[in-house]
Amino acid sequence: MGIEIDTSTPAGVQAALAALAWQIDCGVTEFIGDDPVNAYDLPEKSPWSAKPAAAAPQAPTQRPQAAPAADFTPQISAELRQQLAADVGVAAAEAAARAAHDLKALREALAAFDHCELKQGAKSLVFSGGQPSARVMILGEAPDRDEDLEGKPFVGAAGALFDLMFAAIGLSRDSTDPATALYLANVMPWRPPGNRAPTPEELAMMRPFVERHIALANPNIIVLMGNAPCAALLGAKGILRLRGKWTTALGKPVMPMAHPTDLLRNPANKREAWGDLLAIKARLAS
């Protein structure tokens, strides 16, 4: 048996949406009514914009008749349901990230977070690698197949190139000295199917965790490797245009640069990537 909400008022509509959001939060994916619904009979226009029909003009001597009741039957479109699920996910991510007071707690909060669908298809949560005390934090995109299998960021061919690139300026994920160490994380900790790019909605849901991750690790410099971290932190697209220019995000100096996977595909871009690495080295020395 369900509760009944009067949706003939704005407050009622808000209450109905809040109840719906709560159900989505609880994992509800289907709605089954007591009576069969012929979907072809549903009104074409959204009931939220339905206005009561104007009352027919009355003779002055007649008592005014009540206007026919508007049909406010909630008709939840797939888009609205998706939007609600995304909003609920962002709110849940914000609450979970805010409650995490250290990196261990943040990892546990991510492991318990069920609102991002990518988690269902991934084998591992790829939380971080390297040294959390490092002055330089690398933010990558999302795990590929190798990272998903191993549960670590930047392994496989791209990881090998990554290590060579940073070794060339004296930085390593294996160093325990904060001055020469690297700390690695991704803006999406679960592998998207087929290694596709995370969608803007998926990135928005993970952003509270990324912000908290940066706040807890507190690096001096952040390197954004590839398009997804630029989209997540800078709200900007086009790594080839953004790369090599220092900017600021969350109060930290940020350097966007090409992702090692792109450099493996387009070796001609390695020359510019070398310039970006030298800019990082100079900033650390200054």
**Binding footprint of ligand URA on the chain (CB under 6 A):** 126, 140-144, 147, 153-154, 158, 186, 225-226, 259, 261
Shortest distance, CB of residue 225 to ligand URA, whole angstroms? 6
Smaller CB separation from ligand URA, 96 or 228? 228
Smaller CB separation from ligand URA, 24 or 126? 126
Smaller CB separation from ligand URA, 131 or 186? 186
Instruction: Determine how β-strand 136-140 pairs with β-strand 221-225.
Output: parallel
Smaller CB separation from ligand URA, 24 or 140? 140
Shortest distance, CB of residue 263 to ligand URA, whole angstroms? 12
CA distance 136 to 132: 9
Radius of gyration of the CA atoms of the chain, in A = 26
Sequence length of the chain is: 286
Smaller CB separation from ligand URA, 24 or 122? 122
CA distance 231 to 220: 21
Q: Per-residue b/e over 23-39, b at no fewer than 16 CB within 10 Å? A: ebbeeeeeeeeeeeeee
Shortest distance, CB of residue 260 to ligand URA, whole angstroms? 8
Shortest distance, CB of residue 153 to ligand URA, whole angstroms? 3
| Tokens 């546990």, residue located | 108
Smaller CB separation from ligand URA, 42 or 264? 264
Neighbours of 207 (CB within 10 A): 17
Residue showing the smallest CB distance to ligand URA in the complex: 140
Shortest distance, CB of residue 30 to ligand URA, whole angstroms? 35
Rounded to 5 degrees, φ, ψ at 56 are -65, 145
Shortest distance, CB of residue 159 to ligand URA, whole angstroms? 7
CA distance 128 to 107: 9
